[in-house]
Amino acid sequence: MGYEKLALFLLCALLCRLAFSSSSNYLCPKDQALALLQFKQMFTINPDASRCLNSYPTTLSWNRSRDCCSWEGVNCGETTGQVIELNISCSQLQGKFHSNSSLFKLSNLKRLDLSGNNFSGSHISPKFSEFSSLTHLDLSSSSFSGQIPSEISHLSKLYVLRIPSDRPNVLTLGSHNFELLLKNLTQLRELELDSVNISSTIPLNFSSYLTTLQLPNTQLHGTLPERASHLSNLEVLDLSNNSQLNVRFPMSKWNSSTSLTKLYLYNVNFTGNIHESFSYLTSLDELDMDSCNLSGPIPKPIWNLTRIEVLYLSNNQLEGPISQFFRFGNLKILWLRNNSFNGRLECLNGTQLRYLDFSSNSLTGPIPSNVFSLSSLLRLDLSNNHFSGKIEEFKSRTLEYVALSQNQLQGLIPKSLLNQKNLQFLYLSQNNLSGHIASTICNLKTKVLNLGSNNLQGTIPECLGKMNSTAVLDLSNNNLSGTIQA
């Protein structure tokens, strides 16, 4: 009898569990299903409405024949059946997002992602503030316009707030509202307001939990509070393209020194020096300080950032020799264009380099052999320098852009350049290149092919006139003969 009772008990437990599971999967309240269907009917499906690499018409699966908790993009609470998450990002939705949308009836939402759709002409409704349980709100790349309502600051449980604008000045956020936003949203982990017109100073009060702070192109002014460098969890800081924002690095060690991985300060008004404290940013893998009024040699603290993968220091007044890049074995992108660097280009360490731009400097001597040996190279721009010597054969087979014009390079055009399947732009003008133009050049699919002002000779290959992809072809100021028949 003991075994029979145990078996009966286990059977009852299993049936109860199945019953509970079944009921929990079909508990979507009818009013919430109706609200979602009404929301669906307000928009058309247009594959061009989503600016996403992978978009999908999520709402097509929404119909009355299935419980709404099983619809794509919809997630319900296990015990209540209430809709608590809605993810319809990149769903090809197009139409007006009305302020009285039925979506606001889903009062238990905790996560809402409307990004990557086309709600052009729609304003962000103050009713978003009625989602009192919301922890994640993403309205990015959905063509909202107008002023971001101050009521958004009522969402005190928010962890993530993303409202970057598609275009500058289409969305605005008053300075008072910006302060309110930072003051009330004390739980924020991620704040992204790219290209929103804020036109404000950066308040002192913001969440100490922040991991991501993205405020590029927002018309910020004043001085960056030192508190920004003392956010111990900060991983990404982007203040780019705020030319009226004064940035001065602290002299003391940053509290975020071990967490910060990405720092973007393109076109801000940098003042003072890069102090030794900067060298403690040991986790930094991306640094953009283009157009930051930097001058003199590359600051020593930068040489200590040995994990760096992406480095932009273009459009400054940096000078002196380029050296010590052998320290950076992980570099993928290195842009130092439009500075005043001189001397020879030292050997570069790391085979991962994909983008290399030293154009518009005063570099001399031969181009180092290991530049031509970079097997993953996609873009190389060394134009407008004083390089001499020959162009060696390229190891990379994935080149897309090569600019070596305005130097004193000699010799033949390397065969490896003429066998590139992905090369779109080739600039070799204003050098001392010689020899014939091989007919294999016609295998290129370049948009721009500029070989002008060299010492090339011989007959112009007839096939050049059949290169349909080439919009610009310049062979002028050489010793070539023949004509090009289109």
Answer with the residue of higher pLDDT: 50 or 325: 50
* Radius of gyration, CA atoms only, the chain: 29
Asked whether the predicted pLDDT for residue 25 surpasses 90, the reply is: no
Domain total for the chain? 2
Between residues 174 and 164, the one the model is more confident about: 164
State the pLDDT at residue 322: 84
Question: Which residues are 288's β-sheet partners?
Answer: 264, 312
pLDDT over 60 (residue 17): no
Kindly tell me if the per-residue pLDDT of 199 is higher than 90: yes
Q: Is residue 427 part of a domain?
A: yes
pLDDT band at 385 (very low <50, low <70, confident <90, very high): very high
Q: Is residue 418 assigned to a domain?
A: yes
Asked whether residue 115 is assigned to any structural domain, the reply reads: no
Q: Judge whether 403 lies within some domain.
A: yes
pLDDT band at 351 (very low <50, low <70, confident <90, very high): low
Which CATH number does the domain housing residue 237 bear? 3.80.10.10
Banded pLDDT at 220 (limits 50, 70, 90)? very high
In this structure, are 326 and 448 located in the same domain? yes
pLDDT digits (tens, 9 = 90+) for 130-147: 999 999 999 999 999 999
Once rounded to an integer, what is the mean pLDDT over residues 2-19?
A: 47
* 413 in a structural domain: yes
pLDDT value of residue 229: 80
Rounded-to-integer distance, Cα 407 and Cα 458, Å: 23
Whether 3 shows a pLDDT value over 60: the answer reads no
Same structural domain, 353 and 453: yes
Coil, strand or helix at 371: helix
List Cβ neighbours of 378 (8 Å cut-off, separation of 6 or more). 354, 355, 396, 398, 399, 400, 401
pLDDT of residue 2: 53
435: in domain: yes
For residue 467, the one-letter residue type is M
Q: What is the pLDDT averaged over residues 249-260?
A: 77
| Interatomic CA distance for residues 160 and 141, integer angstroms | 16
Judge if 438 and 373 occupy the same domain: yes
What pLDDT sits at residue 16?
43
Q: Supply angle C-alpha 110, 115, 117, rounded to 5.
A: 135
Residues 264, 392, single domain; the answer is no
Same domain, 259 and 333: no
Distance CA 103, CA 39 (A): 6
Rounded CA-CA distance 304/444 in Å is 41
Is pLDDT of 23 > 80? no
Average model confidence (pLDDT) across the chain: 89
Residue 350 above 90 pLDDT? no
Residues 245 and 373 in one domain: no
SS3 317: strand
Rounded to 5 degrees, what are φ and ψ at 75? -130, 130
Q: Stretch 287-309: mean pLDDT, rounded?
A: 90
**Does one domain contain both 274 and 312?**
yes
- More confident: 349 or 140: 140
Co-location of 428 and 390 in the same domain: yes
What average pLDDT does range 81-94 have in this prediction? 95
pLDDT band at 361 (very low <50, low <70, confident <90, very high): very high
Same-domain pairing of 310 and 438: no
Examine the domain organization and report whether 292 and 400 are in the same domain.
no
3-state secondary structure of 182: helix
pLDDT band for position 349 (50/70/90)? low
Among residues 42, 75, 40, 82, the alpha carbon closest in space to that of 61 is found at: 40
Summarised one tens digit per residue, pLDDT across range 304-339 is 888 999 999 999 999 988 877 767 888 999 999 999
Mean pLDDT of 53-60: 91
Which residues are 245's β-sheet partners?
222
Q: In whole angstroms, give the CA distance from residue 465 to residue 300.
A: 52
Residue 19 has pLDDT above 50, yes or no: no
- How high is the pLDDT of residue 393? 96
Check whether residue 308 and residue 348 sit in a common domain.
Answer: no
Tell whether the model's pLDDT for residue 15 goes beyond 50.
no
Is the CB of residue 113 less than 8 Å from the CB of residue 136? yes
Length of the chain (residues): 486
| Burial of residue 16 (number of CB atoms within 10 Å: 0-12, 13-18, 19+) | exposed
pLDDT reading at 486 higher than 90? no
Q: Does the residue 402 lie in any domain?
A: yes
**Neighbour-count burial of 392, counting CB atoms closer than 10 A to its CB (0-12 exposed, 13-18 middle, 19+ buried):** middle
For residues 455 and 435, give the distance between their C-alpha atoms in angstroms, rounded to a whole number: 7
Domain boundary residue, one of 288, 318, 348: 318
pTM reported for the whole predicted model: 0.89
Q: Is residue 6 part of a domain?
A: no
pLDDT at 445 over 70: yes
Q: Which domain holds residue 438?
A: 320-459
Average pLDDT over residues 245-258: 79
Residue 384 near residue 360 (C-beta atoms within 8 A):
yes
Q: Which residue has the higher pLDDT, 251 or 481?
A: 481
14 falls in which pLDDT band (50, 70, 90)? very low
Say yes or no: 274 and 330 in one domain. Answer: no
